[in-house]
Structure 1
């Protein structure tokens, strides 16, 4: 099976069916969480910028800052507009000084050709993730989130994601949350649908916390 490109919800649904056929241990997760909604964001600099904004923030806070940043930059987060904006404007949108430096660094690196985002589509998921980490402030988690949400790469898997590690530990009856290496090893069984499994694990994590009355 080749890695699917998750272009829309019906494509995701078919990939989910293939995933649970591949690993029947995931059937109870679908029963508890339902069928997850495919998450997609715009590709390119605007998608990368939204991911940087969201680092270490709640979903609500990240959305608010992203909306204010878009308004400050004329409706979309474009690299040239961000480079032309003053630090005062970017701070007024809610960006911290480190995130301003990171976003300016990414915009500059893309302009200089340090990374060419058009090359990423042809790369295998793990190689594409490693390539994206050439960008300032983009680690493996951010790279995999970009591949999954912005490009719909069905095998991208942010192995360091805390919610995924907790959900996998709970779903598979482990004594605690998975380590990065443990989750990576488990996810090998899900290739080339690891990104579909990530969506399911996130949905399962949220459903369990809602049922238990715990914060997500």
Structure 2
């Protein structure tokens, strides 16, 4: 379950009490909507399928995969599917390797998305053992699909950009610096991350309307 609207509001109110930039921006743009993804294997498989392609293309590939491999794309079926079949559905050689790695991990019981470790770093380590699942993908999954409230995807470009802007920094902080800057925001860094995307989108929309410079 993702962070609810109430959890986001409570987390951001707590942040606003300790960090003036959150209080200021909350008054300007309001609270973000929850970001929701389904829990489980299919969400990560969709992430792999959708890498570096449009939403429409990813949807088309997914439909073809279900037609060729079977509805639901169960792990055992994906793991056993011939590479040529997956390529015909639209997956690149790299994505085939990633999809099969994910399917094999699930089918063998090496990972169970209903029983990921409670510790965020342990869960990230378990997920990044799968080919094609990097730290960012694991963090996004834990934040959006499991609602883990202190996950902070510091490697995300928009998070870095908006963290720098919110704090009035002269340039975008590095991933390492972004992690350091957010340390005082624990245990509400998940809400902070969602708010940075919300703020980034608001700035982009305002800039498009010539109301706020990017």
* Fold agreement, TM-score > 0.5: yes
TM-score interval, smaller chain: 0.7 to 0.9
Say yes or no: does 1:159 pair with 2:154.
yes
Contact residue 114 and residue 134 of structure 1 kept, 8 A: no
- State the alpha-carbon separation in 2 of the partners of residues 203 and 170 from structure 1: 13
- Tell which deviates more after alignment, 148-157 or 87-96: 87-96
For the 8 Å contact 2:12–2:22, the answer to whether it is kept is: no
Unaligned residue ranges in structure 1 (runs of 5+): none
Taking only aligned residues, the RMSD between alpha carbons, in angstroms, comes to 2.7
Q: Residue in 1 aligned with 2:112? A: 116
**Structure 1 CA distance for aligned equivalents of residues 57 and 28 of structure 2:** 28
Determine which of 88, 91, 98 is the counterpart of 2:94. Answer: 98
Q: Which has the larger radius of gyration?
A: 2
The structural deviation recorded for 1:161 is: 0.7
In 1, Cα distance between the equivalents of 2:188 and 2:67?
36
Is residue 154–residue 196 contact of structure 1 (8 Å, CA) maintained in 2?
yes
Q: Give the C-alpha shift of residue 173 in structure 1.
A: 1.2
2:35 maps to which residue?
39
The more displaced of 160-169 and 45-54 is 45-54
Could you tell me how far 1:67 is from its partner in structure 2? 5.6
Superposition TM-score, scaled by structure 2 size:
0.83
Number of aligned residue pairs = 210
- For residues 128-182 of structure 1, give each alpha carbon's deviation from its aligned partner in whole angstroms, at most 9, with x where no partner exists: 2123212222111111011111111111121111111111112211111110111
TM-score normalised by length of structure 1: 0.82
Kindly indicate whether the alpha-carbon contact (under 8 Å) linking 1:154 and 1:192 is maintained by their aligned counterparts in 2.
yes
